[in-house]
Structure 1
Amino acid sequence: MDKVVHSAADAVADIPDNVSLSVGGFGLCGIPSVLIKALLDKGVTGLDVTSNNCGVDDWGLGLLLREKRIVRMTSSYVGENKEFARQYLSGELEVELTPQGTLAERLRAGGSGIPAFYTRTGVGTQVADGGLPWRYDDAGNVTVASPKKEVRDFDGLDYVLEKAIVCDFGLVRAWKGDRHGNLVFHESARNFNPLCAMAGKITIAEVEELVDPGELDADNIHLPGIFVQRVVPLTPDQADEKRIERRTVRQKQEA
């Protein structure tokens, strides 16, 4: 039951090229930055990644993207990464843009053994009708577009069929975790992490604080250990290194 692996390098050592990854985080909040760096150092390439976004140019998944280790992204938002836009528009990267709630539910469904589900989101748009550009060539022509999806009437309303997402590996970051893989996330850093953990066939969690089984209040556990296969405890320096995309401040008002 002890799932602790004492280094990120050891935790990702068996991840080969050309696999699919579900990666937690929202923007740069709650991203498994240590595991991402370990993958970068290992030299893994040909990655098909599902994550809400793709980091920024110099942090998070943006590090893998910069080295052209990612060949396909399934995301809901990609606006903070100029290199992402460049690769996509020049035909170097395939991108499946998915409505954010739909992306979350596709991940949850994959982890719950649900192969597909119907949703109102996207009805009457290219999400359902097909034709969204997934890949361009270097001349700006669309070479791969999204397919038309099944639409079905329920009680007089149309719903589009969306398929679940299951990935070979899941990478997440938690605030606290025990040796059995039970995880607790801190406030907004929970975001996509539980869903990406559920969607991974083998999920690796980096945790800022490792505790022994029984120390976590069972009522406060956000993700049960059944969804986690490996736990990597972070050093204090690794746990403290967190970034945000943009810092917005105002001048302190005088009393």
Structure 2
Amino acid sequence: MAIDKTYATAALAVADIPDGASLAVGGFGLSGNPVQLIEALLAQGAGNLSVVSNNCGVDGWGLGILLEAGRIRKMTSSYVGENREFARRYLCGELELELTPQGTLAEKLRAGGAGIAAFYTRTGVGTQVAEGGLPQRYDGAGNVVQASSPKDVRTFAPGGTAAEYVLEESIVTDFALVHAARGDRHGNLVFNKAARQFSPPAAMAGRICIAQVEELLEPGQIDPDAVHLPGIYVHRIVEVGRNIEKRIEKRTVRPRPAEA
């Protein structure tokens, strides 16, 4: 029997995401943001969401539109510096934040998808990441009302050199939303450049992964050696076309070298 995971529209693909759901969302900066799925979720109306993503988009774009609409209760992120509304809501007590080192966050997602309950890492040892005390929620007066708890720290000696490592639990979410350059009807995905950073582990972490693709292909049209994420991790796929808007988070201009 053929396996066809395609949905006609983004709205249909996200229709059953309920209030209070947890989401893993792909993207690195603004690269690979599943914008059409996010916009469909905004229109769908689900709220009180717990979102795991490298960042929360920017004001008026990506996950930023869900944040501005008050739909996000908690963010688990590693980089939150480009969104003024994010900072306002966090410091005013309207948003819970679990700040996580970037590489650790990627591995927590990947481990969740691989069936690994937890792992030990050197990252965060000797800091509040391991010792606890990172502010997770403020009240309206600027007081910390919720802080991170201490984590288990143990000594291991890989390669013969003893060092301390901190225990990090993996992440599994109800749904995952990702953007890919190409995908086939079986759910095999190919990502483009920086979009490949967080999208595969985010997809793996979701119990139900929903992928938007710029180009939908038939099974067999993607070289198996070119597949970045196998379809076993993808449950729904929707084609959004190649002419979608793609924004740049921050433009920099390289000065021309002085002539000799």
TM-score > 0.5 by shorter chain? yes
* Residue 248 of structure 1: aligned partner: 252
TM-score by length of 2: 0.95
**2:108 matches 1:102:** no
Q: 1-side partners of 2:62 and 2:84: how far apart?
A: 14
Show the counterpart of 2:206. Answer: 200
Q: In the aligned structure 1, how far is the partner of 2:75 from the partner of 2:33?
A: 16
1:13 aligns with 2:3: no
Matching residue within 208, 215, 218 for 1:209: 215
Q: Which amino acid aligns with 1:213?
A: P
Deviation at 1:189, TM superposition (A): 1.6
Query: SS at the partner of 1:41?
Result: helix
CA contact under 8 A between 1:30 and 1:191: conserved in structure 2? no
Alignment counterpart, residue 178 of structure 1, candidates 175, 178, 184: 184
Q: Which runs of 4+ in 1 moved over 6 A?
A: none
Q: CA RMSD in A?
A: 1.4
Letter of the 1:182 counterpart: N
CA distance in 2, matches of 1:249, 1:131: 39
Q: Which residue of 2 aligns with 1:129?
A: 131
Residue pairs, 1:47-86, within 5 angstroms? 47-86=49-88
2:148 partner amino acid = S
Q: Secondary structure at the match of 1:237?
A: coil
* Structure 2 letter corresponding to 1:158: E
Match of 1:149 in 2: 151
The one-letter amino acid paired with 2:191 is F
Instruction: Note the C-alpha offset of 1:187.
Output: 1.4
TM-score of the aligned structures, taking structure 1 as reference length: 0.96
Q: Is this contact kept in 1: 2:112–2:171, CA < 8 A? A: yes
Distance 1:132 1:64 in 2: 25
Identity of aligned residues (%): 66
In structure 2, runs of 5+ residues without a counterpart are none
1:212 deviation in Å? Answer: 0.2
